[in-house]
Amino acid sequence: MERMQQIVGRARAAFNSGRSRPLEFRIQQLKALERMVQEKEKDILAALKADLNKCGHNAYSHEILGVLGELALTMEKLPSWAAPQPVKKNLLTMRDEAYIGYEPLGVVLVIGAWNYPFVLVMQPLIGAIAAGNAVVVKPSEVSENTARLVAELLPQYLDKDLYPVVTGGVPETTELLAQRFDHILYTGNTAVGKIVMAAAAKHLTPVTLELGGKSPCYIDKDCDLAVACRRITWGKYMNCGQTCIAPDYILCDPSIQSKVVENIKTTLKEFYGEDVKSSPDYERIINKRHFKRVLGLLEGQKIAHGGETDEASCFIAPTILTDVSPESKVMEEEIFGPVLPIVTVKSVEEAIEFINRREKPLALYVFSNNKQLIKRVISETSSGGVTGNDVIMHFFLSTLPFGGVGHSGMGAYHGRHSFETFSHRRACLIKDLKMESTNKMRYPPGSQKKVDWAKFFLLKRFNKARIGLFVLALLGVVAAVMIKVVN
């Protein structure tokens, strides 16, 4: 416990020194982080290979590319993001300066996940640095090689006191959560998310929780099945199904179930060849514990394709389950593996009802040639994010917030949304000491006349384009004189 107190204490002392606040310093640190990713690319790829059997090009596109893109965007846009944001004023404040100022929260904690162990630590870190915070980084101990590398590299490139890295398992994380932070961002499962939130509540610390869930994928009969199934196959089986926004299960009409299976089988052959196990593009389950958990979900299911396993290498082949009962074990928890159940529904109404009976998912996918049907599903359901006629791609658009709702999480980040998550939006109003007579309406003693003038100032709406700011200013002066006369 004492070690964690020291780490967080040093970070807070460094933050209180004020050195993380200037934009020049923030950009300098972001440039150093960019240099780290570029110079240590081979080491990062090797760690991802050791943890998840990610081949070089997959690891680069899944993890490194997103970090470099986020860095480039943040460094370009940070001056405009951090600038005071003027707000509209009323008659009472037209001569004043009113704006939203963005200030850092303080010392924040970022707890990463093991399935994308580099990008899911680095992207929140980028936003927290950009906002001017000190950041304690806790990579997942499950992806031990990447965690070790992050702990080794960050102090070589970033300010050691402002951005410390803590490694370790549950005991270390528990001790860390006992400390006071000004914000915590956690990526992982719902059970641990509740623990994080409970620990944060003791200090009234706000949290951002990215928790996953069972993300549904509805396929309409009026759809190009070949294209839909190719996109679904890519999103489902990338990283061996260990993606928080992977399509968890398919909902479709019974009449197209067999066609969906055949199209996915064709695509799997196209992506991974005849022998999936030997394909360099197919990853592995992270460890034996998760291997056994996913394997247990196959019990009693009708396997339409796949099902082959090898415990020694944590290999589970891309698997499709058909005629799955909504009450079966595989439909109770997030699969987080290369197993795709198909549940049949007879209409979009039934699909919507099915989705709404369950906890709100992190993502939702709809495939149809009918854009109105897609928008209907969006309007009648709730999820963290949604993509129509594709999967996962909303994650890669930095102008969209990435986050959950309900059991799939709270808060969001990516791009400017990361900067705002780790910033306090401070309401700022600066007045001068002139025209004191306009303030008499708010001073005692009260009167109906004062109430009437207050209603005029606060409730009256003017079309600025038509009467102009000059006339508004003139109205303010006249009103001030009238108030003086009335009093």
| Cis bond before residue 445 (omega within 30° of 0) | yes
List the chain pLDDT tens, one digit each, 487 residues: 699 999 999 999 999 999 999 999 999 999 999 999 999 999 999 999 999 999 999 999 999 999 999 999 999 999 999 999 999 998 888 889 999 999 999 999 999 999 999 999 999 999 999 999 999 999 999 999 999 999 999 999 999 999 999 999 999 999 999 999 999 999 999 999 999 999 999 999 999 999 989 999 999 999 999 999 999 999 999 999 999 999 999 999 999 999 999 999 999 999 999 999 999 999 999 999 999 999 999 999 999 999 999 999 999 999 999 999 999 999 999 999 999 999 999 999 999 999 999 999 999 999 999 999 999 999 999 999 999 999 999 999 999 999 999 999 999 999 999 999 999 999 999 999 988 887 888 899 989 988 888 888 778 665 555 555 555 555 555 555 555 554 5
Amino acid at 184: I
Distance between CA atoms of 269 and 417, rounded to whole angstroms? 39
Distance between CA atoms of 487 and 484, rounded to whole angstroms? 5
Q: Which residue from 126, 128, 216, 140 is spatially nearest to 173, judged by alpha carbons?
A: 140
Contact 139, 168 (CB under 8 A): no
The alpha carbon of 84 is separated from its chain's Cα centroid by a whole number of angstroms, namely 25
Contact 194, 217 (CB under 8 A): no
The pLDDT of residue 472: 54
Tell me which residue has tokens 């795709």.
Answer: 340
Tokens of 151: 């702990």
Tokens of 424: 């306090």
Tokens of 331: 């439909």
Q: Which residues are catalytic?
A: 210, 244
Distance between CA atoms of 391 and 365, rounded to whole angstroms? 6
The pLDDT of residue 481: 55
Distance between CA atoms of 309 and 307, rounded to whole angstroms? 6
Distance between CA atoms of 366 and 368, rounded to whole angstroms? 7
Tokens of 372: 């109105």
List the Cα angle 90/95/101 in 5-degree steps.
80
| Helix spans in 83-187 (H) | 119-130, 144-157, 170-177
Report phi then psi at 178, rounded to 5. -75, -15
Contact 394, 363 (CB under 8 A): yes
Tell me which residue has tokens 């990579």.
Answer: 139
Q: Which helix (H) or strand (E) holds 430?
A: strand 423-430
Question: Can you give the pTM of this predicted structure?
Answer: 0.92
